[in-house]
Structure 1
Amino acid sequence: MAANVVLIITDQDRARPSYERVALRCPARERLRASGLSFEQHRIASAACVPSRASMFTGHSPWVHGVTQTDGLAKGHDDPAMRWLSPTQLPTLGHCLRALDYDAAYLGKWHLSAADLRDGQGTVATVRREGRRGVRAPAGEARYREANPLSAFGFDGWIGPEPHGAAMHNSGTIRDPLYAEQAVEWLRERGRRFEGGERKPFFLAVNFVNPHDIVFWPEWSVFRPRWLGSGVPSSPPPPTAGLGVKELLREPPVRNQYRDRYLRAYGPPDLIRSAYELRGEAYRRFYHALIERVDRHIAAVLDALDAQPFAEQTAVIWTADHGELLGAHDMHQKWFNAFEETVRVPFVVRAPQLRARAGQRVEERSSHLDLLPTILGLAGAGKGTAARARLETQLDERFPKARPWPGQDLLAERAELDSYFVTADAIVNGNQRLAAVTRRAPALRRLSMLHYTPIDGCATGVEALVGSVEGRPYKLCQTFDPRGTVLDTLALNPRQRFPGERELFDLEADPAEARNLAGQSATAQIEAALVRRLGAARAAVGGPKAGEVALLD
């Protein structure tokens, strides 16, 4: 029987690093883990927000869907470098579920296309801020319901605008309670329809913002300390914080440039740096407070679901679009790297057929490319079923150029594959060359310290493979030039402007990824084997084969 599915997505929410011991009060997360199956080695397919969500909802890598950039800092939503997902390009999860006769609803953060409604006064508002709480605007919500902006992607019910940008009403602190409220209303209405005899299966995506509010740390730590939360235990800095000159010289140049440009993109670099370095403990407390904050909203959704008559026929999946470095490797947020703090995220499935496995942990690798096939399996359209055959026939007619999904149904029999990740998201490269602080204080634009230049003169793309060699987990990372490069070679050639850099980490002996083993004779055979496997994994998700020119910008 096809199950209902509730998909809960949090934003910038990493899996707990091995070195982190802070005890958080997150009963909703623990409730899901206790009643579901936890995939401990789950990694994203791309970063940051927009590319990752495109992979989650299409089941494809950026090599196929072409969505590589996130708006923000240097880019607005209409920047020439932005490539939003097109509803006619590839089938989305919404298209699939609609073809399977599901009601597919979408609430909360979207960030896959420029879907906000606009009129003569600007963006149509659906929320206003009163102090530290948001108040819904029914007239604006009605306009979104009538327009149904995500219908072309197969989803109904989305109420914008996007919770994106520096305005307080776009923060998760303001918007997440309202998203939870919308989800509770939706589930209760669905319960009333169920009691009235309706049995059509449904899919509900509930997309929260937090702990994404950590991006506001430089501003909130100074101007809005009351918004930071309190009562969260302290945690020590990550073991890879405080890199010395020797370590920095061994880093790929793109990361050193990012460390500089990231500070300049916010404001006076010395001031922004001090907000992170001098108040590091408070910074980490704030991130963990945001995790506790969004957990309360997850709990509200679970409570509403479990009170409905269809609860026993409903699967719940919780995951995140990407993680957060939180000062690891002397970096913040999620760009220009493939470290575990960025790429490994929670993935928990609670489903009717998993009751006998409740509370278990799965250590086999999985990927965000597995999300769509797993949901199709829950919907009764797993690989090899008649429903899947009918679905693929319908999709082939509408999307004749679409490729097969490379991911696997995580609840069916599967082979453990290597995890492949790629990103070319250059958040500090775009039309905007002024620090974010100048948008609130235009008079500061005359200060030269608040102007910055894009990252240039180095390879800016990053790809990575996580796989086992003789039962031991390793990660191979390499940078490449997304504007045209011959992959699987680190030497300059006429079609490659910048050489790449390679890193190799033994994730068992060095889970913090502090020791780069690339180029060492003792691990040369392992490195060579993983380079070959990385090329095969890239090709398997639709990327270029070894020796082919790659364009991913």
Structure 2
Amino acid sequence: MTTPRNILFLMTDQHRSDTLGTYGNPAGTSPVLDELARTGTRFDRWYTPTAICTPARASLLTGYAPFRHKLLANHERNVGYIEDLSDGQFTFVESLRDAGYNTGLIGKWHVGNEKRAADFGFDGPDLPGWHNPIDNADYLAYLDENALPPYEISDRIRGTLPNGGPGNLLAARLHQPVEATFEYYLATRAIEQLERYAEDYQRDDKPFYLALHFFGPHLPYIVPDEYFDMFDPEQIEMPKSMFETFEGKPPVQKNYSAHWTFDSMDIEVSRKLIAVYWGYVKLIDEQIGRVMDAMTRLGLADETSVFFTCDHGEFTGSHRLHDKGPAMYEDIYRTPGLLRVPGAPEGVVREEFVSLLDCTATILELAGLDAAPAVDSRSLLPLVRGEEVAWEEDIVCEFHGHHFPYPQRMIRTDRFKLVVNPDSVNELYDLHVDPDELLNVYELPEMFGTRTELMTRLYSVLRERGDKFYHWMTSMYDVGELGYDPTLSGLDEATYDGSRTEGATP
């Protein structure tokens, strides 16, 4: 099979996998993406390395886990971490440019603060920020050129903060036609860029990488009438984890629930929020459809690999939470992942644990380039081709904080998930018995063997990677025999490397 060199990378923000038909949603939210899954590969255990925008996107760009690239928080709520990737940091886009690729990014960048997408070699409008920048000059020019009305909203949905103030805006009705939405604008600009790249490809055999990164369906869910009212809230089945009690859980989760004002809103409001979220997914799916149609029109469909994924998930009321945060539940860590490579088998479903990180090596391999610099990434192409290959039977994810530093590490296997929380209680979930992760069984005596096995495995993975979080685990948990002095002083290695002689003074 000759691997096509062109790449279209479709990405959303804060997108639950269960909003897509191919992942089980029955409401017809995603026919375009469902077709991509039908004609390509769907990954059922696709995880983000961390459920926060900037670090996850930096991992995609570099092929480095967050602890390694060190860009650990969003600029808007950064409380002391670095805010841009280091000079000289490897990125896949610079490798593609060096190999003669056109490289474009239309939409959300959010990888740092001072350094913009253009600084790394991406073509496209500069669109900073965490959500649709509705005051951006290029967007306003688009509205003006097409005689479209400006942004205006009503029917705001929000709760009440613990201090009595108005809660974060969660959703609103947008008084603009579809053609004026930021999502339609992004798809239009992507099609225009695709047309330019197609001309270069067909005239000069110059391949392209084009990324279309939507800012949604990240909250607040702001969509026109058609999508705001598309799905009946009465038909929404609320998540079972809505009955979360936080008993035996880290206290920070209950605090985050209060921050996101879940308990200050009626259940009918929560149903409406999910219905509007689904409408937002439908709006984005339609815009992706416009881009896919353009690719077919330009004769590129059989010569372009197409990715679809997101940076992380969204709670939408699960565990009485919204947004994301210091709670490593499946709702925000397990995300959609689709990949269609022309010539590869259609309708493939893979159960291996894979990561957003693995896109980096896959992109490089599709381009015929060395993937070794993407040190924490592994190409997905063998899985896409339907091959049986040896693969890790677990996945490790990390978190470093959002509104405040809050380090966590998680290991997930087929059945169990262990979350290490240095500030409070650890978490252990039996996902076969408790898929909604309501019951923390970490302290149950009968789980001693399981938690010890998982703790030891997590410790060994972190040590192998060089993630220094393992130093806390060294002294606090049963992680097996140590082969080094955990104080890192260099003063007493003999105690740990077996060279201390019998009879020595203790």
Q: TM-score, normalised by structure 1?
A: 0.70
State the distance in 2 between where 1:289 and 1:17 align.
10
- Residue 318 of structure 2 is matched in structure 1 by 328
- Tell me, which stretches of 5 or more residues in structure 1 are unaligned? 117-148, 264-271, 393-403, 430-458, 481-497
Q: Answer yes or no: is the 8 Å Cα contact 1:8–1:317 preserved in 2.
A: yes
2:420 aligns with: 478
Q: 1:504 to 1:167 in 2, by over 3 A?
A: same
Aligned pairs (5 A) from 1:287-436: 287-354=277-344, 357-381=345-369, 405-412=375-382, 413-427=389-403, 429=404
1:71 is displaced (CA, Å) by 3.9
Match of 1:34 in 2: 38
Taking the TM superposition and a 5 Å limit, the aligned residue runs for 1:181-260 are 181-195=188-202, 197-212=203-218, 215-216=219-220, 226=225, 229-233=228-232, 234-243=235-244, 247-260=245-258
Deviations 1:225-254 (CA, angstroms, capped at 9, x unpaired): 9486112242111101133xxx32311011
**Matched position secondary structure for 1:16:** helix
Separation in 2, partners of 1:166, 1:316: 26
Q: Quote the residue 1:538 is aligned against.
A: 462
Q: How does 1:261-300 map to 2 (within 5 A)?
A: 261-263=259-261, 273-275=263-265, 277-300=267-290
In the alignment, the residues of structure 2 paired with residue 308 and residue 225 of structure 1 have an alpha-carbon distance, to the nearest angstrom, of 30
Matched-pair contact (CA < 8 Å) for 2:72–2:400: yes
In structure 1, what residue type is equivalent to 2:237?
Answer: P
User: Does the alignment pair 1:522 with 2:476?
Assistant: no
Shift of the 25–165 alpha-carbon distance from structure 1 to 2, 3 Å rule, reads closer
Amino acid paired to 2:89: L
Q: Is the 8 A contact 2:108 2:215 kept in 1?
A: yes
* 2:74–2:112 CA contact under 8 A, matched in 1: no
Aligned residues: 422
Aligned position for 2:96: 97
> Within 1, Cα distance between the matches of 2:227 and 2:298?
35
Shift of 1:537: 2.5
Question: Which ranges in structure 2 are unaligned for 5 or more consecutive residues?
Answer: 136-150, 153-171, 383-388, 475-506
State how far apart, in whole Å, the 2-side matches of 1:53 and 1:248 are.
30
Q: In the aligned structure 2, how far is the partner of 1:333 from the partner of 1:23?
A: 22
TM-score (norm 2): 0.76
Q: CA deviation at 1:526?
A: 1.1
Give the fraction of aligned pairs with identical amino acids, expressed as a percent. Answer: 26
Deviations 1:397-432 (A, max 9, x none): xxxxxxx612211113452342111112223x4xxx
Q: Distance in 2 between matches of 1:476 and 1:343?
A: 13
Q: 1:178 aligns with which of 170, 173, 185?
A: 185
Say if 1:373 and 1:409, in contact at 8 Å, map to a contact too. yes
The residue number in structure 2 matching 1:109 is 108
What root-mean-square deviation, in Å, do the aligned CA atoms of Structure 1 and Structure 2 show?
2.9
Question: Is the 1:45–1:369 Cα contact (8 Å) retained in structure 2?
Answer: yes
The CA distance in 2 between the partners of 1:210 and 1:204, in whole Å, is 18
The corresponding residue for 2:496 is none
Q: Secondary structure at the match of 1:249?
A: coil
Q: 2:264, 2:133 → 1: CA distance?
A: 20
Shift of 1:353: 3.7
* CA separation of 1:328 and 1:103: change in aligned 2, threshold 3 A: same
2:431 maps to 507
Moved more, 176-185 or 79-88: 79-88
CA distance in structure 1 between the partners assigned to 2:278 and 2:369 by the alignment: 38
Cα distance in 2 for residues equivalent to 1:28 and 1:47: 25
The separation in 2 between residues aligned to 1:228 and 1:375, in whole angstroms, is: 34
CA contact (8 A) 1:48 1:322 kept: yes
Preserved contact between residue 538 and residue 545 of structure 1 (Cα < 8 Å): yes
Is this contact kept in 2: 1:38–1:348, CA < 8 A?
yes
Is the partner of 2:50 in helix, strand or coil? Answer: coil
Q: For 1:540 and 1:180, how far apart are their aligned partners in 2?
A: 42
Offset at residue 332 of structure 1 (A): 0.9
Q: 1:156 to 1:326 in 2, by over 3 A?
A: same
- Read off the aligned partner of 2:354 and give its amino acid letter: S
Is 1:46 matched with 2:44? Answer: no
Q: Residues 42 and 80 from structure 1, CA distance in 2 versus in 1: closer, same or farther, beyond 3 angstroms?
A: closer
Contact map agreement 1:47 1:425 (CA 8 A) in 2: no
Distance of 1:154 and 1:87 partners within structure 2? 16
Is the contact made by 1:104 and 1:204 (CA closer than 8 Å) also made in structure 2? yes
Report the Cα offset of residue 545 of structure 1: 6.2
Which amino acid letter does the alignment assign opposite residue 337 of structure 1?
A
8 Å CA contact 2:53–2:311 kept in 1: the answer is: yes
Distance 1:276-1:228 versus aligned 2 partners, 3 A rule: farther
